[in-house]
């Protein structure tokens, strides 16, 4: 049975990790598809008109809570961006780049011409071309979205992921551009990965830096108490195989596998309660018992049918033997009757000849027989 439990644990863990990976990456895939659509719009319009772009980006960010910023920059250093800061959408605009003019920022819904709302960015050395998302997008030769990790330069810093795409100009002497999204990965993963209500496992999605994207804080459940110990043991071994974990009376197993997403790496896995795996075998055992009972009944029926057939065959052999014996006796009787018939026929014939001879002799002895004969 332990071997069976180990096999079930392996299969259950494989399917669980596949499901978590599919759920976790679905949100990132959708954002990459949104980036492709926006890049196609920019490529077709071939314009960086802030008005048209900000209208589209405002609608996009209102439906994508994990989307923290949208950037569009060209090789000359010009940029227009829409950023989410403390619940407010802020516009950042740079027309000529460092040395020729400082980037300006203002709230999206405020009067852009008012000096009270427009302010200069304090980072005088800011240049979109120095950002990680810009340089990483240039590395891709196929123009597909490419991911990169980075930190947003704000006081309330948080881990961000960037996905950027290179947009080549449709006309000569026009600069190439890079469109990029800044995304808060915690919101993406928490919005797509479904938690197990039965508490049989707990999903794990780690960034390459070790940030737990599904960190739920203190958890008083048995599985939640085993979770930190499971992560600690995995970080010590960094093994792709399943690692057993014991925390008090809780017995679990943890497995974490790497996954690459076109530029960034994740560690995706799960902590699974082994008692839950044991409960999976209860229906299996019930099925085995039912099958055993059915097989026993079937075996009894087969034995009964075999015995009955054997008895029928024995009776048939006895009957055939009796029939053959009767046939032999009948043949013998018929043969004897033929012999008797032949003997009777022969004797009757002889008797008739004797009688005929006697009659002839008697006739010869009668008086006048000689005269009559003359």
The DSSP-derived string for 289-307 is HHHHHHHHHHHHHHHHHHH
Residue, of 6 and 352, whose pLDDT is higher: 352
Is residue 124 domain-shared with residue 179, that is, in the same domain? yes
Res. 302: pLDDT tops 90: yes
Do 110 and 198 share a structural domain? no
pTM: 0.69
Token pair in block for residue 118: 């427009």
* Residues 120, 158 share a domain: yes
Whether residue 270 sits in one domain with residue 167? no
Out of 147, 162, 189, a domain closes at 189
Asked if 113 and 178 sit in the same domain, the reply is: yes
Tell me whether residue 336 is in a domain. Answer: no
| More confident call, 96 vs 154 | 96
Overall domain count for the chain: 2
- Identify the pLDDT of residue 116: 44
**Claim to verify: residue 179 and residue 229 sit in the same structural domain:** no
pLDDT over threshold 70, residue 47: no
Considering all CA atoms of the chain, what is the largest pairwise distance in Å, rounded to the nearest integer? 190
Q: 227 with 294: CB under 8 angstroms?
A: no
Q: Residue 30 maps to which CATH number? A: 3.30.450.20
What's the pLDDT score for residue 333? 87
Q: Do 242 and 266 lie in a common domain?
A: yes
Return the pLDDT at 84.
92
* Mean pLDDT, residues 118-124: 57
Q: Indicate if 125 and 36 belong to the same structural domain.
A: yes
* Residues 203 and 54 reside in one and the same domain: no
The residue range of the domain holding 156 is: 19-189
Which domain CATH number covers 266?
A: 3.30.450
Residues 6+ apart with CB under 8 A from 85: 154
Is 372 inside any structural domain?
no
Query: Domain ends where: 189, 218, 243?
Result: 189
Q: How confident is the model over 200-246, as pLDDT tens digits?
A: 888 999 998 888 898 877 777 778 888 888 889 898 888 888 888 88
What is the distance between the alpha carbons of residues 214 and 76, in angstroms, rounded to a whole number? Answer: 39
pLDDT of residue 62: 92
Report residue 72's pLDDT band, with 50, 70 and 90 as the boundaries: very high
User: Across the strands, what pairs with 251?
Assistant: 246
Q: Is the same domain home to 230 and 264?
A: yes
Instruction: Give the tens place of pLDDT for each residue, 206-215.
Output: 998 888 898 8
Rg (CA), the chain: 51
**Which two structure tokens, joined as six digits, stand for 166?**
């290179």
Query: Which pLDDT score, from 0 to 100, does residue 39 have?
Result: 92
Q: Residue 1: its pLDDT value, please?
A: 46
């Amino acid at each position: 049975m332990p071997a069976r439990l180990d096999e079930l644990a392996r299969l259950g863990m494989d399917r669980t990790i596949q499901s978590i990976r599919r759920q976790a990456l679905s949100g990132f895939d959708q954002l990459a598809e949104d980036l492709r659509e926006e890049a196609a719009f920019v490529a077709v319009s071939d314009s960086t008109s802030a008005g048209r772009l900000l209208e589209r980006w405002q609608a996009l960010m209102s439906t994508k809570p994990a989307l923290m910023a949208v950037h569009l920059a060209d090789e000359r250093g010009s940029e227009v961006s829409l950023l989410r800061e403390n619940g407010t959408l802020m516009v950042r605009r740079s027309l000529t780049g460092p040395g020729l003019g400082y980037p300006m920022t203002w709230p999206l819904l405020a009067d852009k011409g008012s000096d009270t709302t427009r302010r200069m960015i304090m980072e005088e050395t800011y240049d979109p071309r120095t950002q990680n998302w810009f340089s990483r997008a240039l590395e891709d030769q196929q123009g597909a979205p490419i991911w990169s990790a980075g930190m947003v330069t704000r006081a309330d810093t948080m881990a961000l992921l960037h996905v950027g795409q290179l947009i080549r100009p449709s006309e000569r002497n026009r600069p190439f551009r890079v469109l990029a999204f800044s995304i808060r990965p915690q919101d993406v993963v928490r919005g797509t990965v479904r938690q197990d209500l039965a508490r049989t496992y707990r999903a794990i999605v780690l960034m390459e830096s070790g940030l737990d994207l599904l960190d739920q804080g203190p958890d008083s459940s048995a599985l939640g108490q085993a979770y930190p110990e499971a992560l600690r043991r995995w970080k010590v071994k960094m093994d792709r195989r399943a690692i057993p974990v014991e925390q008090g009376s809780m017995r679990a197993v943890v497995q974490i596998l790497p996954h690459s997403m076109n530029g960034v790496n994740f560690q995706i896995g799960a902590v699974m309660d082994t008692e839950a795996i044991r409960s999976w075998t209860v229906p299996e055992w019930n099925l085995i018992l039912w099958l055993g009972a059915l097989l026993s009944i079937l075996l009894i029926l087969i034995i009964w049918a075999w015995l009955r057939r054997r008895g029928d065959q024995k009776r048939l052999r006895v009957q055939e033997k009796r029939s053959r014996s009767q046939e032999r006796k009948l043949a013998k009787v018929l043969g004897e009757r033929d012999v008797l018939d032949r003997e009777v026929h022969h004797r009757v014939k002889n008797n008739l000849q004797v009688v005929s001879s006697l009659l002839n002799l008697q006739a010869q002895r009668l008086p006048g027989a000689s005269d009559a004969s003359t």
